[in-house]
Amino acid sequence: MRDYDHNVQIDFLTGAILPAQLYYKAQQMRELTRHQVFAALQQADVLALPGSSEPAPLLPTGPGIQSKEEAHQRMAGRRSFTGVFNLATMSRRYACRVGFVSVDGSDLPVGLQLAGEALR
């Protein structure tokens, strides 16, 4: 566990105390997501979408959450769109950086992902 930063350790520990019923429900949702992704791929060769709802954030400089605003941002802010393919256990995908965008004077990467059976 010591190989991970504080926030990742907290995520792991949170997962370790989830009730079995919630874990079972999550597995059911995973299977539903998997079926939906593969149903979408019956209608298209490749799915193309952004990697995230906004540019990559700057790395945290310290452990823990420092403010209510930071906690809110972590819970409701930037969303990764790669999770749907993780849930679908989709191995045929490709993500790449396609450019940068300037945010508060910092150039942050923006990504694109492609997923589908055609990516063999």
pTM: 0.61
pLDDT at 36: 92
Sign (positive/negative) of CA torsion 21, 23, 27, 33? positive
**CA distances, 118 to each of 16, 24, 49 (Å):** 37, 32, 16
Judge whether residue 99 has pLDDT over 70: yes
pLDDT at 106: 83
Arithmetic mean of pLDDT over the chain? 83
Region 70-83: what's the mean pLDDT? 73
Return the domain boundaries, the chain: 6-56+69-119
Encode pLDDT of 30-76 as tens digits.
Answer: 999 999 988 998 999 888 988 887 777 777 777 777 888 877 777 66
Alpha carbon distance 48, 98 (integer Å): 13
pLDDT at 76: 67
Alpha carbon distance 52, 82 (integer Å): 8
